[in-house]
Amino acid sequence: MDDLLLLAAIVSAVVGAWSLKQYYAGPPLAVGPVAGTETWTVEEVDALRLGSVEVSGPGEFRRLVSVVATARPGPGGPLRTREDGVECVWWRSETTRHHVELVDGERVARSERVGHNWSREPFTLADPTGTITVWPDGAEVTGAKAVHRVDEQVTPEAAESVWSKLTDKDTTTAVVTVEYAVRAGERVFVHGEAHDRLDGLTIAKSPSGAPFHISTKPEHVLRERAEKADRAVASLRLRGYGLIGLAVVFMILFYVV
């Protein structure tokens, strides 16, 4: 009986500690504000700013907001993707190297991202009530459509030549570059910090590290995903502390019985 209690206490403590480690290792409830923040019109966000100006003066407004509006080019005009020159308001380029590694005598296909770049210039969101500038640098951007793809296949002879400059355990088979873009006219959901530190009303990444999301996916899809992620993260915390408490109970019983 004592051995079973001790074993139960150890298992509960280990699993509980692992759950709490997982909870604290990541950003707990990182998407929670997306799930719980009301969507505002541009006019409503500006009304919040004006209220802040009356109380604290210009440049002091800070508020996490969610806005759904139509993407328009920023003050500098439309952007163009680097490779194909597709007109857009935001772009991202990703390059992936596909290769074969020799692992324990087996040739294993793998891939790794070797290039990643994106636009940092601002664009505009417009709805029937007004416009707001978005500085996208630092945002998690989802839903952007692939507008250009280049597959550079490496022939066995070329692969061997490339590999001879590296090691005999890794052979490049292909290099794939894909460009993604958000184009003018698309409906865009933006969740970030609205402020008036720059000229006019702006949404950007918060210095506090609060979530900053830009997406062309429907708002309800994003909120459902956020709520599901919140529940999963919260369950880690609940399970962790619950199992730690159970371990304490088992240890008390171990010494009492």
- Give the distance from CA 40 to its chain's centroid: 22
Name the pLDDT band for 234 (thresholds 50, 70, 90): low
pLDDT at 204 over 80: yes
- Whether the pLDDT of residue 142 is over 80: the answer is yes
Residues forming a β-bridge with 95? 115, 177
Which DSSP state fits 146?
A: E
Mean pLDDT over 226-237 rounds to 63
Q: How far is CA 231 from each of CA 30, 35, 209, 220, rounded to the nearest angstrom?
A: 11, 11, 21, 17
**Is the pLDDT at 62 greater than 60, yes or no?**
yes
Reduced to 3 states (helix: H, G, I; strand: E, B; else coil), residue 199 is coil
Provide the pLDDT confidence category of residue 32 given band limits of 50, 70 and 90: very low
Residue 213, pLDDT > 60, answer: yes
Residues 184 and 215 sit within 8 Å (Cβ to Cβ): no
Whole-number pLDDT of residue 105: 73
What band does 57 get if pLDDT is binned at 50, 70 and 90?
A: confident
Confidence of residue 56 (pLDDT cuts 50, 70, 90): confident
CA 100 to chain centre: 29
pLDDT of residue 165: 45
**Mean of the pLDDT values across residues 31-41?**
64
- Assess contact for 244 and 16: CB atoms under 8 A: yes
User: 27-31, 34-38, 79-83, 150-154: which has the highest mean pLDDT?
Assistant: 79-83
Alpha-carbon distance of 100 to 177, in angstroms, equals 18
What rounded mean pLDDT belongs to the chain? 80
Taking alpha carbons only, the member of 96, 100, 108 closest to residue 167 is: 100
Give dist(CA 128, CA 76) in Å, integer: 22
**One-letter identity of residue 141:** V
Q: How confident is the model at residue 5 (pLDDT cuts 50, 70, 90)?
A: low
Cβ within 8 Å of residue 40, ≥6 positions away: 48, 65, 66, 67
Q: What is the sign, positive or negative, of the torsion defined by CA atoms of 192, 194, 195, 200? A: positive
User: d(Cα 92, Cα 97) in Å, to the nearest integer?
Assistant: 17
The DSSP H or E segment spanning 22 is: helix 2-25
Which residues on neighbouring strands pair with residue 62, listed in sequence order? 195
Residue 8 to residue 238: CA distance in whole angstroms? 18
Q: What is the structure's pLDDT at 96? A: 93
pLDDT for residue 158 is more than 60? no
Asked whether 181 and 81 are in contact (CB, 8 A), the reply is: yes
